[in-house]
Structure 1
């Protein structure tokens, strides 16, 4: 089963590409072009330039650009990467982050770089507040969005992957004509700068955590069994919560095999209602009422409690959350919770604990909308 990228339908992705292109290009300009009033070009002897030759030269230049040449590096007439960021109201959060961590000078006069700049909406979806972040942590995030060298679209697809400044390998894919960097959709044409290339992306990127201690998000990413679960949460508030916050005491993490074995009627419902994947994800994040906040909820703790509460969207409305009770039982084969087997428990993280389970848990409130 393939989960739609960040709950977007193909039509929504296409619209986002078109919107991103319009934003990047500034939209159609209703005013007359200055070129209309400009004098006709002339040769050195004063004669008029042949319009057919000029058109041919223009066409050749356009073909060169489409073949992968940026034509940007070293062109002093183009804006710098910093100027592109500063002049685009759609990138104000990223631009503020660049300023907060001291990257402004580098993007003004350094490079060349390829910058994958998350839109304001990407920051809003992740609920990451730039002004409230530790500059060191924010700097590590922004480094994942910068790559040395100026990569055209053709360069990116030919390379297959590029390495960010933090060392994270960003895979490049081109499914159905869309360009994807890691898990983010490139939502604009390449914007050429005098010191590199800038792409607008629809999702905040988070690189891999290094070192022995990892957040719950880092544990999920490093394990290798939870790819589908990760895809559902990438770019959402859950991703940043599990990476930076201490909001949950435990995660029940369904494996990829668990998602592959979901009932056909549930899969069909989620394909038609992809935003409900978010409610499925929320159902697996535990912070039970009455349990001390910030205290790991181990398998032994859950067995002793006999049941735990987990959040679920109220009546599938998408507004607000209620709770459902999950029964925890000790059996000969191990511990079950809500009917799912805990296949490996107590994977420790810096901000909670992860339990791998063999079944995707579906909220009862959502099941009421699933047809047989």
Structure 2
């Protein structure tokens, strides 16, 4: 009897505990669901307080709490502090102009309508995407990414240090530098496909192309439209003359004219602005002729000042803050007889 009594007591205690547990489970089931973690919540959760403060100061919190999806490259506190110090901006006491500037810089870290993972970026290797920042005439700014030396780098200046922090309305990648608004020069130097062009622009005896093509929009002769030859185009140019082993071997004045023949000033001519037969005048002075469409599905083809035809635009609309770049497959040559 004692054994039965003892077992009965234990059974009673067990049932009581089971009942309490069941009640506790029912209570848990009745709790409201956890609030979703938006991009802004993720920034705060990961101690990106400077970014959160900047979003608040520029009235962008509600934007990044909306449905999205967004891909956001989020600068660390140190990175944002360095940017504000260099720009001499105090978030708590900004002028209207400074608010617009900081807001556009922040938008340059945001890609709307897509959740882009580090696997996507690494798999692609390199490329361009459009951010929410406004370039010339409000056109969305481009962002160049490439996977180099084991890291994803943005516009040649900012490296992803922590990737794939997920949010309910997108994804966050932490970066070590603020991605400032890019100029024509930013993309030319960031994209390895233009390394031969950069070598030509900076060759001995050339005008200060870097300073000119870095001018802020609104300063004459901005904005620029640049038809940028890729590396293979410059190599083909060198191969066309037995005396040219590098751009340094090309006569300085000739090289200047050739480079200026790729630039249209005071115009941000995007692919949608091109029309069949249009003949813009280049910085060098000769006109080029645009025909639509290009070959092999490319958007347009060019006849240069020397009469060379069927030069395809192979990548279009790399939008900077002071102009736009179109990559071309062949170096454009001016009319040297005039």
Scaled by the length of structure 1, the TM-score of the pair is: 0.38
Scaled by the length of structure 2, the TM-score of the pair is: 0.41
Greater C-alpha radius of gyration: 2
